[in-house]
Amino acid sequence: MIKNIDLHTHSTASDGTFAPSEVAHKAHKTGLSAVALTDHDTINGLAEFKRACGEYGIEGISGVEISAKYEKEMHIVGLFIDENDTELAEKLDELKNAREVRNKKVLELVNRQGMEISVDDILSQKDGATLLNTGRAHIAHAMVKKGYVASVDEAFKKYLGKGMSCYVPRKTYSPKESIEMIKNAGGLAILAHPVYITEDYDKLYSLLKQLKEYGLDGTECLYNCYSEEFSKMCFDICDKLGLVKSGGSDFHGGNKPDVELGKVSGDYVPYEFLLNMKEQRGLM
């Protein structure tokens, strides 16, 4: 029996539309053997997620996705983290508190553009929502609902994306700090979707070599929008640098409707990836 996994997903604990337990249920219905919950800058959904995975008989992996300060979009995924690690929780709380400040600034800029979007328009989108666990995606949905833009994509391209009139930079840690946070919490540090950083072989090789010196364990070789050529490039670099291979869909539910749980460029992530990670951590 072929066993497939997904090592990059999001829930309502950050900017997904499925509750943590619903992510576990969907993974079970999809036929996945294992799934990691990697919400942005928070571990608040992991307890509910792990309980649900146990109920559905699938392997639930505790994760997080940390935004790192870099010239382009850089995210570091942590897998097998200790969700009870107090140092990690404190550092993530700093990011969460900064998210509230950022959301307020973005809303102020949006309203200056003549679009009347209130805090209630944001918080009404999901149960338990606060300005601590919502973000630009929720603001974009409010803009669509009120008819200011036709789609979430248009909201980002015209207003919310980097360099646009309503963009506000987020608080981030450096790549080295982000990796150390994950490693100190017992996790594996994985560079997420490097395709958003560069598609050049030499540049990606140099970046991964540098990040490995900081403690990086691997990178995502399979993702929802990779070409076959880019995946092969990631595989080759991982082999040369001795990095583990990871992969995931980056599932967000309704916030990324074209991304299916477990699917990576039309294929699946093999369980072999997980076995190799466990071997690296001394669990095999």
CATH 1.10.150.650 residue ranges of the chain are: 96-160
pLDDT of residue 135: 87
pLDDT at 209 over 90: yes
Q: Give yes or no for residue 241 having a pLDDT over 60.
A: yes
Task: Say yes or no to pLDDT of 54 above 80.
Answer: yes
Is the pLDDT confidence value at 281 over 80?
no
- Report the DSSP beta bridge partners of residue 116: none
Q: Which of 177, 176, 168, 192 is nearest to 64 (CA)?
A: 192
Fold type of domain 4-91+174-280: TIM Barrel (3.20.20)
Q: Per-residue pLDDT for 284 more than 60?
A: no
pTM metric for this prediction:
0.86
Region 96-160: CATH code = 1.10.150.650
Check whether 248 has a pLDDT greater than 60: yes
Ranges in the chain annotated CATH 3.20.20.140: 4-91+174-280
CB 158 within 8 A of CB 150: no
**pLDDT recorded at residue 283:** 60
The CA dihedral of 65, 70, 72, 74, to the nearest 10 degrees, is -20
At 21-43, the pLDDT tens digits run: 999 999 999 999 999 999 999 99
Q: Which residue has the higher pLDDT, 104 or 254?
A: 104
Q: What is the pLDDT of residue 192?
A: 98
Q: What is the pLDDT of residues 56-107, one digit of tens each?
A: 999 999 999 999 999 888 999 999 999 999 999 999 999 888 889 999 999 9
Q: How many CA atoms lie within 13 A of 34 on its CB side?
A: 23
